[in-house]
Structure 1
Amino acid sequence: MSLISLTDLSVKFGGSTVLSRINLVINKGEIVTIVGPNGSGKSTLLRNVIGALQPTTGFVERAPGLRIGYVPQKLHIDPTLPLTVRRFLSLPKRVSNTRALHALEKAGVSALEQRQMSALSGGQFQRVLLARALLNDPQLLILDEATQGLDQPGSARFYQHIEAVRQDLGCAVLMVSHELHVVMAASDRVICLNGHICCEGAPEHVATAPEYRALFGTGTQGALALYRHEHNHSHDDSVSDHNCAPDETAT
């Protein structure tokens, strides 16, 4: 079942092409990771998926009534503001104690309900943001550099938890990250973006694609082998390759 479908999507800012002819489908229950260098258009793509930005040309189709949960790259909260985790989950719209506790449990941080947001560690803060994204039992969970600032073991634990959330809720997950070996190990499908889709497919195939290695080097393939986990379902072994010249205009 298709949750999101992008057809020939292009985005221009001030005459510069940021994304060019993107065709992408997100299906129910799959984990899709978007990787790409700085300025490749990853955040712009997410904004189109969410609906915060409209494409210059092309189309975005969403399943009727699609519930989306979003974990941002970062969120600044004034450290002098007295704000508990429970109160944070009720901003800007109040949620019941039952829903709040359920979301915190799903995120693995139910013990933090009365903790001050300013007192949380980086990993705890990201788990609370995840809980906020899970309040409405999303069908599609979107994470934009959600582990930025965490160390490698912390990132690995976070993405392992995302896999558990996916299995529990049956939701699809769309992730953007620079942590190539960790997120690719957690993914069903990887999309390499540099203003356009350079290559896509199962992680082990993208890691050996010339277009991917031209952008990220050869070292990530070995790292992927160390972190890859076995899935209990099959993948499409094909990799779709496109010309991947550097795109200086992408932001």
Structure 2
Amino acid sequence: METISIQWSLVLFTALTGIAGWTFVCVAADEFLGRAKAAAFPAGIAAFVLAVVGGLASVTHLSHPDRIMGALGHPTSGIFTEAVLVGLLCVFVAVYLVMLKRGASDGARKVVAVIGAVFGVLISFMAGESYMMSSRPAWDTLLLPLGYMLTAMPGGVACYLVVVAAKAKDAQVGEYAKALLVAGVLAAIGAVAFAAAAGQADGAALGCVVAAAVLAGVVPAVCGALLPKKPQQLMALAAGSLACAAVGIVCYRCLMWMVSEPVANLFLNIL
């Protein structure tokens, strides 16, 4: 089966912004749980940097990056939606970081963190929803963006736990261990569900399905299950989960390109 070439700029964009969004979801959650307050600022910085780098990666996909404003001039386009969501995520993360430094009230911080977390979840889903189109039957299912969101979850939780391990070593991470376990299970289900719906996962595509399910799903889930029993190995388990999840996240996004037969050039050099 002839397939469309993998658009690596878009793969990196959706992978990095997805991890960023779910990292900040954990930051927002800890505003209420209060388990690792020392990790809030560095984790927020990590989310902000990942989102910015991811956004820059998407711009490199354009054949004429200097015309980005023209591409953003169409509010109904996927590019516009993604850019707005990434921008809003970055704005609210930045505002949250400033509020932390200035000692803003707990209530105000919680509001800003929750709004930022909502945008983080939305970008992890909408980055995949943009590809849903009737001309690509394998893509035209909600399982595609759902898989985008679910595979990003363990990456974000693991990224947050890496920061916690480095900056808040005495933190109680039981809730986040459970979150990593659940996120891993959901990621594996999401990857397999989309592959089954696409119905064309063979050869290299099958390898991507297995890699996505195992690396973004099974490994983080196992690490999440082990964390309560081996809290002294938080950094090793979190870092291992993040590394594996990052590869699995990329594999899932590559899978999308592998299961679609080209009918027309989706990305004409018009920008």
Q: State whether TM-score is above 0.5.
A: no
Bigger helix fraction? 2
Provide the TM-score with structure 1 as the length reference.
0.29
Provide the TM-score with structure 2 as the length reference.
0.28
Bigger strand fraction? 1
